[in-house]
Structure 1
Amino acid sequence: MTGLFGAAGRKSTPALDEAYRACRRINARYGRTYFLATRFLPAASRPSVHALYGFARLADEIVDNAVAPGDPAQALTTLEKALAEAFAGAPPAHPVLLALTDTVRRHDIDEALFTEFLASMRMDLTITGYATFADLAEYTHGSAGVIGLQMLPVLGTEGPREEAAPYAAALGEAFQLTNFLRDVGEDLDRGRLYLPADELAAFGVDRAMLEHAHRTGRTERPIRRALAHLVSCTHAVYRRAEPGIALLAPRSRPCIAAATAMYRHILDEIADAGYDVLGRRVVVPTHRRLRIAVSAMARALPFRVAPRSR
């Protein structure tokens, strides 16, 4: 049976194929930018990326949207236990865990990365703000840096994986910092603020001022200046991460280059909106997304029509 991965992949089953399709549907529904970027990967790599996204979304939904009945902390504990049992060899009941465990085994992904991710999700249940970037670093590493590290074995590297790892983690964190700036109003609605208090205070901004702006839709000049500063800080993280794209396997570079370009354009849209992000969610216009997609598709085409060399 060839299944989703073709004859060269691990033996498939109807249940496993359907599990991967379920993860793909989750990615398509919730991760527009992420999903579009996966289209520039070779077909054999996409199911594993969908599985990693599906698991992250599963945990995120427990924390952010209270989809599980009862206590979110208990729901996370249940998920963590189910994941540990699946990694130990027990047949997973949840399709996302079925696809995930197959992906982890297929690519030899470090299981500890998922423990770190769930620990960061648990932080969201008790921590509502961060004093400094240093305080935020533990969360951004666990919630996003480790996802870059999970992705790395799927994407492949030209040289030793450990050389690319710091860049992969930094890129995941850059994406997360971008999300914090884009979604600051939505996060305030959930009782959380991921913008470091000391960075805001340098411009005379505090949480109460942000909450007032969110309620009224009026973004005062000090808030705009603070957000401009934080956008600049996030661009610096992208610059730190960008050299890692050249360390990836050539077949994966168009995907990550496209995702990076689209996420960086979110920062451009925030600036173009005059940093008025507390009352609305900025998006990258379709024409910009299409321009990035066409360029990425041109770079990815040789890896779609030629046999994989590695």
Structure 2
Amino acid sequence: MAASALGCTPADLAAVEEIVRKAGTSFARGMRVLPPDRRYAMYAIYAFCRLVDDVADEESPLADRLPRLDQWRDRIAGLYAGRTQDALDRVLHAAINRYALRQADFDAVIDGMQTDAETVVVAPGPAEYDLYCDRVASAVGRLSVRAFGDGSADADRVAHHLGRALQTTNILRDLGEDAERGRLYLPADVLDAHGVPHEPDAALRSPGLRPACRDMADRAEAHFREARAAMRRCDRRAMRPARLMAASYAAILDTLRKADWREPRIRVSVPLWRKLRIAARAAIPL
């Protein structure tokens, strides 16, 4: 641990890192390419997203969860007014000040989590789908690119397109898991174009599901291309984590393409050897 990262205490940094570690993802390893100040800023952003998502995903009644999401809105507003209450607040506050993170992006993340908390999303309209992707993915990207080291308009374009590419890939990978929860995130216009019913279980059995998923994969790949084009106009070093995420998720999408959604309830995974090759190549400029 870098004791001076963001000017925070070792105890506060350790507390935030522990939230990330307990999440049990590969996120922490991916952020090791960053210098300490930026790495702990990203840990704090991830911890915020994780904790808000935990509220949205709880089995407790909606009436209990919505006030807690409102508390997160108040908590974020407090950070911009200089009020902190715990280690995460203090590290987030330092990151906000150091990297000019925007309150609207934090609020958008909370709004996206609230959508999942209060709505069983089934076949959203095109505008609803795009807004959902913006809130749960691209808003996180807009926070991240600043922590990575680039706050330019082109970096925001990376966040816009990469967020949509990643979220669409997640949706295409998690069809079975989402259906078990009564959810179907594929947009209505794509389902209708292929005669896929809007009921989740029926959709997974429909012969039109596979071509619908191929269409969505095409959309994701278009967003990946736009994100990579925007990355070339950004600070090369700052975009290293974005390149890693793009390459990792493009590999997932490629694996999904090869499986062709023949068994949509089975969640595909990328082989370890391919993950290691992607990590090695992420340092190579595009």
TM-score normalised to the size of structure 1?
0.82
Aligned-residue Cα RMSD (Å) equals 2.5
Q: Residue 147 of structure 2: which of 154, 176, 189 is its match?
A: 154
Aligned to 1:19: 15
Tell me the alpha carbon deviations over residues 221-270 of structure 1, each in whole angstroms, 9 at most, x when there is no partner. 32111111111111111112111222332223332212101101111111
Provide the residue aligned with 2:32 in structure 1.
39
Runs of 4+ residues over 4 Å off in structure 1? 67-70
Structure 1 stretches of 5 or more lacking a match?
301-310
- CA change 1:226–1:107 in 2 (3 A) is same
Does residue 296 in structure 1 map to residue 282 in structure 2? yes
Aligned-partner Cα distance in 2 for 1:277–1:178: 16
Cα deviations by residue, 1:108-149 (Å, 9 ceiling, x for unpaired): 111121112211221223332244322211111111111111
Tell me which moved more, 83-92 or 237-246. 83-92
Aligned-partner Cα distance in 2 for 1:232–1:277: 19
Matched, 1:264 2:250: yes
- CA 1:290/1:200 → structure 2, altered by over 3 Å: closer, same or farther? same
1:241 aligns with 2:227: yes
Q: Does 1:287 align with 2:273?
A: yes
Gaps of 5+ in 2: none
Q: 1:198 to 1:69 in 2, by over 3 A?
A: closer
AA partner of residue 150 (structure 1):
L
- The structure, 1 or 2, with the larger RCO (C-alpha pairs under 8 Å, 6+ apart) is 1
SS at match of 1:124: helix
- How big is each residue's C-alpha offset from its partner over 1:197-239, in whole Å with a ceiling of 9 and x where there is no partner? 121111111133x41465xxxx553211111111111111111
Residues of 2 paired with 1:197 and 1:3: CA distance? 50
1:3 paired with 2:15, answer no
Matched, 1:139 2:132: yes
Secondary structure of the 1:266 match is helix
Instruction: Select which of 28, 43, 51 maps to 1:50.
Output: 43
Query: What amino acid is the match of 2:139?
Result: V
Alignment of 1:173-184 (within 5 A): 173-184=164-175
2:184 is the alignment partner of 1:193? yes
Task: Spell out the pairing of 1:93-132 with structure 2 (5 A cutoff).
Answer: 93=86, 95-127=87-119, 128-132=121-125
* 1:64 counterpart = 2:67: no
- What is the Cα deviation at residue 81 of structure 1? 1.9
What is the one-letter code of the residue matched to 2:185?
Answer: Y
Whole-Å separation in 2 of the counterparts to 1:97 and 1:187: 32
Deviation by residue 1:53-78 (Cα, 9 ceiling, x = unmatched):
11111111111244799722122112
- TM-score, with length taken from structure 2: 0.88
Give 1:184 deviation, angstroms: 1.8
Matched, 1:82 2:75: yes
| Cα contact 1:180–1:194 (8 A) shared by 2 | yes
Deviations 1:35-69 (A, max 9, x none): 44323333442111111111111111111244799
- Matched AA of 2:154: E
Letter in 1 for 2:84: P
